[in-house]
Chain A
Amino acid sequence: MSADPQPAQPTALDRERTELGATWAETPGWMGWLSAVDHKTIGRRFILTAIAFFALGGLLAVLMRLQLARPEQRLVDADLYNQLFTMHGSTMMFLFAVPVMEGLGIAMVPLMVGARAIAFPRLVAFGYWMFLFGGLFLWISFALNIGPDNGWFSYVPLAGPAYGAGKRADVWAQMITFTELSGLVVATSIIVTIFKYRAPGMSLDRMPIFAWSELVTAGMILIAMPAVMVASTALILDRLIATHFFNQAEGGDPLLWQHLFWFFGHPEVYIIFLPAQGMMSTLIQTFTGRPIYGYIALVLSLVSTGFIAFGLWVHHMFATGLPQVGESFFTAASMMIAIPSGLQIFCWIASIWRGRIQWKTPMLYALAYFFVFLVGGLTGVMLAAVSLDLQVHDTFFVVAHFHYVLIGGSIFPLFGALHYWFPKLTGRMLSERLGVIAFTLLFIGFNLTFFPMHQLGLLGMPRRVYTYPAGLGWEGLNLLATAGGALMALAVITYAINVVWALRRGTHAAANPWNAGTLEWATASPPPAYNFHPVLVVRGRDSVWTDPDPITVIGLSCARREVLITRVVDANLDHRFESPTPSIWPFITAIATSILFIGSIFTPWAVVWGSIPVAIGLIGWFWPGSKSAPQEPTGAVIRERLA
């Protein structure tokens, strides 16, 4: 039911909508801005902040490429270069890739599942502030010459107390704590939203695939991120109070760090990858005009990838001298994970075969995936083989591989999805022309930058080197890569210009400009604060296509922020619940937590004294308000009105 132009007489529905608008409105002014709990607002903030970090990380990459363009250049010295690649990797992985996927989840999942709000909105707000403060902490430290310089993976002993002088490695380790805490709380919220906030009738097998991908990702976050928090905490403890986790002379082991880090690190890349697979299914479905082929297969692929991803981490450690039998297991697992990914690709090709392509910018990004991610996935199969990995590990071949899978597998779908959901989130359409230009520049620039790196790795160029000698055949390829980097920068700038232009002058978007089938397109662009009124009942997949005049739910209060809680599997009605109102306490608690985290890299007492402000913040946050208890949906209060 899209927002039709207002008829001459305000109907009962219009009056209810006006009242709902007031009930769900944000508080005005500075306080309101800091207290926001609307999931669309927070989702937009996540996305914008993540894109800002993406731009910063990209600038660092440009600097690195300039330094590597010619052999034995002295543009950037060794110390700065080490900081550049560390900041580039850390920013892209922790401050851009995961937050942007989460941000899209926060913004879109409640809309897709027909909910009025996200679960635990104040927790999500807290998650945003922690992400922002963690990112600021890292970058301000970089500006103060305390930026980390040991790589985004921060191996010990180099990052340990003996070889990592000063506080640089501690800044890295604590940034992890910020961003992983943010990830964990958002993941919790997304899981509960998907399990309990779905519109009545939206059983799990009617849920959009993007929601499934966010669900699996959130589950992976819950298991993977504690591992890296343990690792980074152990590192801080080693550095600050002389524990011996990684000290081989006192019974620890540097290899322990690698196991702990990569147990997180490998699932991390799938955390970045899986939502993008969900986006692919979404884009292909919409732009071929038919329900996606192989829904069950696609969902099972997502779930099985999520599980198998936890069994691959040792493939980052093939050169460390582990026993061969153990390594073989990880070769097999690393190759086998290609099967669910392949299954998804085949289902998408089948979908394209059966549909009619709408040649719009988001579809271009989705099609580019096949060319780019496939190369990366295949080089991944090569890297899974221990023997081959022993030669190309830690060379530019790996750099090429992971950029192909990350950019091809995640960024291309992401840019397509941002283009696709832009009208929904902002109410404006992006320019098609600028979109195609940005896409073309990105596709060409990306391949020009990263394809030569395969050859560089085969010719023996290792990673993380601030310069290289002439005479080994590496000069021309490096220059080519730098030229490609310039094109990529142009592409990103073009995309940004498109966004800025669209926000000012873009056409106003209708509720469903792409004629898509999922529920978020059943409400206005941008949606009102309460998302849906009335709340829709779902009777099949892609209900905007299959059920144009749906049954609705009536009886939810317009004077309170009521959401409908449903059951996990079949989404039958369970109870009504009052969603939390805006509050400043998540922000205050985030400030207090940040002080605790930052202080604790200087002295262990910060944990003790710092927990007092945190306790105050939490007490303020959870102080019992006047919210009513969850109410049963009695027959007298909620009726399904038959069409």
Chain B
Amino acid sequence: MSTSQGWDADRGLARIQELERLPGALLPILHALQDEFGYVDKAAIPLVASALNLSHAEVHGVVSFYHDFRHDPAGRHVLKLCRAEACQSMGCEKMIRHVENRLGVKLGATTEDRSFTVEAVYCLGNCALSPAVMLDGKLYGRVSSDVADFLIDDAKRHS
């Protein structure tokens, strides 16, 4: 999902210019930058600020407010694990601990080999098929520890 090719000012500026005229353009721009680079690079902040006539602090404040925007490149695969109530009622905490142990990282971190970023998420809207996870933007339901293992193995094979 995340390309993580590293920041490139020209490509970044091009994405900013495509969207800067939208009313309330900041979130669409930040999403576009994250889509392009896998995260929002610090170097993008002054460019965005100048395009939208905002202060650096205002832009930084928005980037840091929202859980979605990453400050560093993500791993090759992003695994979001739901830990909201419906998934808890079906034992997601146990599955999450299993995934953390398996990959050797806590929620919110990226594995050393940069293959996986594991994140907590609060509800993926799949609450009748709990526990739910999202791997690289794709939703999965009834994810036991075994299914999680299968998803991880499968992603590893395809990267």
**Is B truly associated with A?**
no
Interface residues of A (CB under 8 A from B): none
